[in-house]
Amino acid sequence: MLDERKAAILRAVVEEYIDTAQPVGSAHVVRAPGVHVSSATVRNDMATLEQEGYLRQPHTSAGRIPTEKGYRFFVDNLGQPAALRGSDAHQVRSFFEQAHGELEQMLQDTSRLLGDLTSYAGVVVGPAPTEATLRSVQIVSLGPSSMLVVAVLSNGAVEKHQLDLAEAGAALADGVGEERVAAATAHLAAQLSGSVRTNLPPLPVTGDTATDALCELAVASLRSAHGEGPDQVFVGGTAKIARAFDALETVREVLGILEEQYVVVTLLRDVLDRGLQVAIGTETGMAPLAECALIVAPYQAEGEPAGTIGVLGPARMDYPQAMAAVAVVGRRLSQRLTDG
Amino acid sequence: MLDERKAAILRAVVEEYIDTAQPVGSAHVVRAPGVHVSSATVRNDMATLEQEGYLRQPHTSAGRIPTEKGYRFFVDNLGQPAALRGSDAHQVRSFFEQAHGELEQMLQDTSRLLGDLTSYAGVVVGPAPTEATLRSVQIVSLGPSSMLVVAVLSNGAVEKHQLDLAEAGAALADGVGEERVAAATAHLAAQLSGSVRTNLPPLPVTGDTATDALCELAVASLRSAHGEGPDQVFVGGTAKIARAFDALETVREVLGILEEQYVVVTLLRDVLDRGLQVAIGTETGMAPLAECALIVAPYQAEGEPAGTIGVLGPARMDYPQAMAAVAVVGRRLSQRLTDG
DNA sequence: ACCTGGCACTCGATGCTACCGAGTGCCAGC
DNA sequence: GCTGGCACTCGGTAGCATCGAGTGCCAGGT
């Protein structure tokens, strides 16, 4: 499709432009390895590459800049895999060795890690609760009319929901004693353990009105909460976005996008669904990201697909390096979530 | 300290500058209410105000801009309290009525609410775990060698920590049965319920080696986790920062600060400790925030001081409006965390 | 003592012109 | 089919005149 020399020229332009953010002229390209011809020849080839849509000129008589198609070709055919820099590999390793504590905290830190590794914004979409089963349900009373339902899922996630008895039915209006709480907890544990989070079975009654009302309230809170996308999104390194672009307006748009959790989830999922590993410019499907590129990778927990990680940066991104970072972090994260 | 007319002039300059971001000239000031003199007189007064440090000129023969001292005087003496706009008040009310579910989620959303209300960045520092007592401790097994310690605190916070038995002592290396887990949970619940989170008592032994080892591991994870500042910080509306400044470099610096959780916590705490409600420019104690102002307010849970909320924006901030927003949100948040 | 109209002055912003140079497209020749 | 050469383009920068918002100051009025 592109002969060897044109490919070499395209690569040279992409790499140089990624490096300098300046339009690349033929004089620069001739210095690149794999291009052993004169600048005039390079110019001819560059004109062809422009006609074919791989390059464009910001203005007549300026150097060339890669188009989306140009980046795409680079990513698909020219980017040599590239391993992580040694220090980065080390950073990733020690990060996951030290990682501990709460899942959310770790995912948040992972997004930051991605940001640090790539100098772009790191994104982590938390595990969808879909597949997980309940391991434990417990009611803990906090105050006279306030209690907490704590549910532990098989994937290690913990959910909590506050119950307000005052607002609940008459059966509970004047508070509930410890023994009722214990009874309800036992009942819930017996009935719900092992059931799938997203599909809780109806509860049989115990016979005790107050206990049943309390159980009902707890289950209702679990049911209602799962509807509203508990798709947690963690974004790390937003400040990097401000460093990646020169145009303030672009920074504003991109930050605006990153702030909309729902949009970010959809974005990553869409890209992944289309089987892409990299989405460049309009491939993201979002107009404000026209000057951006997104690298995504899924991760697993216990062998099951769990969530997605990604990196969002400028279209003139260091693809090999960023792809390596995302791949490695995805792998290590999966490992961490599987082996424990 | 400032006679009435000079105060009126200062107020006019501050308000105009907040509105337009342009240096304000004497011709504009004469149109302000409370200034019934000629532009020449205004000029004389403005020269005095400049000498006394309330105003400055970006360049000779340009209008005046408030200095830090000018903003400070405005905030202390000129800013009339100002209530929230009706629509905003409604937004706050309905926000807290709908708020439910997990504490972290609510605090995160609160930071976003602050951002929406003010068009600046909203910040919420989560409740310090210091005072809270343990209400419940439970061990839930997730896999053969992996379990979770779930602790519920009296303030409604839930902590979880993963335990990896494979890495633990020999007593647990080959896994633990359900009955041991139950025994350990019962033991922990009996011994720890009611104790202060930050000061867990030593556990008496049960006599069963494996159970004791498991308990020990659980307590150790709780102990170790509390050291590393579980001061959660939630920042909402970072994109607003990019809209608040024209200088890209400023945006970069401010976003950089907002990304450092530790720095943000320290910042808010410091300002609050100094008894300030508003910190302007260098009063924040952070050089990169020279062009920013920060409004803070504490909030309570169950009558006890719990955390801090704040808004970070440009020094030319709409102080009355932002202060009103922070005050109202702080009050409503406290209420929500107290009444349930 | 204080305010005011008037006036000369300052200086950033704007627009124009000239010029430089990186980079191009094209052509004739090897 | 590649190359050296050359005319051409056009963004960026520098110099210069102009404009106008805004100032400081002063002399005169209340």
Distance A62 CA to D11 C1' (A): 8
- Report the pLDDT value the prediction gives residue B287, as an integer from 0 to 100: 96
Q: With beta carbons less than 8 A apart as the criterion, state whether A200 and A223 touch.
A: yes
Gap between the Cα atoms of A123 and A105, Å rounded: 13
d(CA A240, CA A155): 32
- State residue B162 phi and psi, 5-degree precision: -85, 140
What are the φ/ψ torsions at residue A313 (nearest 5 degrees)? -145, -170
Residue at which a domain ends, from B172, B196, B227: B227
Output the pLDDT for position B174: 63
Closest alpha carbon to A125 in A252, A262, A304, A256: A262
Q: A177 and A265, same structural domain? A: no
- What percentage of chain B has pLDDT greater than the value 70? 94
* Closest B-chain CA to A255: B239
Does A123 share its domain with A144?
A: no
The CATH number of whichever domain residue A70 belongs to comes to 1.10.10.10
Co-location of B242 and B333 in the same domain: yes
Q: Are residues A237 and A334 in the same domain?
A: yes
Model confidence at B173, pLDDT cuts 50, 70, 90, reads low
Mean pLDDT on A161-171? 72
**Average pLDDT estimate for B276-290:** 97
Nearest residue of A to residue B220 by CA position? Answer: A101
Cβ neighbours for A301, distance < 8 A, ≥ 6 positions apart: A127, A155, A156, A334, A337, A338
CATH code of the domain covering residue B147: 3.30.390
Mark which of A45, A78, A111 sits at the end of a domain: A78
Query: Does residue A163 sit in the same domain as residue A290?
Result: no
Alpha helices in chain A (DSSP H): 4-20, 26-29, 39-51, 68-73, 86-98, 103-118, 178-192, 209-227, 238-244, 248-259, 261-273, 319-339
pLDDT at residue A101, as a whole number: 67
Report residue A199 as tokens.
């599909």
Task: Note the pLDDT of residue B146.
Answer: 77
- Structure token digits, residue B228: 């590393």
Q: What is the pTM assigned to this prediction?
A: 0.88
| C-alpha–C-alpha distance, residues B271 and B266, integer Å | 8
Using the CB atom, is residue B47 less than 7 Å from strand C? no
Cβ atoms within 10 Å of B303's Cβ, excluding its own: 9
Looking at residue A340, its pLDDT comes to 60
A48 touches strand C (CB under 7 A): no
Phi, psi of A176 (to 5 degrees): -135, 135
Helices (H) and strands (E) counted in chain B, each on its own, are 12, 10
Residue A101 with chain B: CB contacts under 8 Å: 160-162, 225
pLDDT in tens, B46-65: 999 999 999 999 988 899 99
Q: Which DSSP letter does residue A83 get?
A: P
Same-domain status, A181 and A160:
yes
A263 and A335 housed in the same domain: yes
Q: Which residue has the higher pLDDT, B219 or A174?
A: B219
Judge if A66 and A150 occupy the same domain. Answer: no
Q: Is the pLDDT of residue A207 over 80?
A: yes
**CA atoms B100, B298, A235, B239: torsion sign:** positive
- Single-letter residue type at B209: T
Nearest-10 crossing angle of helices A39-51, A4-20: 90
Residues B188-210 have a mean pLDDT of 84
Q: How far apart are CA B113 and CA B122, in angstroms?
A: 7
Phi, psi of B244 (to 5 degrees): -85, -20
Residues A213 and A250 in one domain: no
Q: Percent of chain B, pLDDT > 90?
A: 57
> What is the maximum span of chain B, computed from C-alpha positions, in angstroms?
91
Q: Which amino acid is residue A330, in one-letter code?
A: G
What Rg value do the Cα atoms of chain A yield, rounded? Answer: 26
Residues of A within 8 A of B142 (CB-CB) are 135, 154-156, 340
- Residue B338, judged by CB atoms within 10 A of its CB (0-12, 13-18, 19+), counts as middle
Instruction: Express each pLDDT in A298-326 by its tens digit.
Output: 999 878 888 999 999 999 999 999 999 99
Contact list, A156 vs chain B (CB under 8 Å)? 142, 146, 148, 160, 162
Q: What is the mean pLDDT of residues B243-250?
A: 94
Q: Do B136 and A143 touch (CB under 8 A)?
A: no
Smallest Cβ distance to B239: which of A103, A143, A255? Answer: A255
- Mean pLDDT across A128-154: 81
Low-confidence winner among A69-83, B128-142, B277-291 (lowest mean pLDDT): B128-142
Average pLDDT value for residue range A233-248? 95
Cα separation, A215 vs A205, whole angstroms: 9
Which residues in chain B are contacts of A238 at CB distance < 8 A?
A: 238, 255, 259
CA nearest B190: which of B225, B138, B129? B138
The answer to whether residue B278 scores a pLDDT higher than 60 is: yes
Q: How many structural domains compose chain A?
A: 3
For A58-93, the pLDDT digits (tens) are 988 899 999 999 999 999 999 887 888 889 999 999
**pLDDT for the residue numbered A230:** 59
Q: What pLDDT score does B101 carry?
A: 67
Q: Which residues of B touch A (CB under 8 A)?
A: 100-104, 135-136, 138, 140-143, 145-146, 148, 150, 152, 154-156, 158-162, 164, 166, 221, 225, 236-239, 242-243, 246, 248, 251-252, 255-256, 258-259, 302, 340
Domain at A236, CATH number: 3.30.450.40
- The reported pLDDT for the residue numbered A174 is 63
Question: Which residue among B78, B112, B144 closes a domain?
Answer: B78
Condensed to tens digits (0 to 9), the pLDDT of residues B304-330 reads 888 999 999 999 999 999 999 999 999
The domain of B161 spans: 134-227
CB contact under 8 A, B138 and A135: no
- Rounded Cα distance, A248 and B301, in Å: 40
User: In the prediction, which pLDDT does B125 show?
Assistant: 95
Alpha-carbon distances, residue B219 vs A184, A208, B128, B165 (angstroms): 27, 36, 19, 14
Q: Strand B121-125 relative to strand B65-66: parallel, antiparallel, unpaired?
A: unpaired
- Mean pLDDT for B205-218 is 84
| Whole-angstrom distance, CA of residue B150 vs CA of residue B168 | 18
- Å separating the CA of residue A61 from the C1' of nucleotide D8: 9
pLDDT at residue number B285: 96
Q: Mapping DSSP to helix (H, G, I), strand (E, B) and coil, where does residue B131 land? A: coil
Between A275 and A127, the higher pLDDT residue = A275
pLDDT in tens, B5-36: 999 999 999 999 999 999 999 999 999 988 99
Q: Based on the domain organization, do A119 and A235 belong to the same domain?
A: yes
pLDDT number for residue A189: 86
Residues B262, B235 within the same domain: yes
Average pLDDT over chain A reads: 89
Question: B92-116: per-residue pLDDT in tens?
Answer: 999 998 877 678 889 999 999 999 9
pLDDT band per the 50, 70, 90 thresholds, residue A130: low
What is the Cα–Cα distance from A140 to B152, expressed in whole angstroms? 8
Q: Where would I find the H helices in A238-318?
A: 238-244, 248-259, 261-273
**Are A138 and A222 in the same domain?**
yes
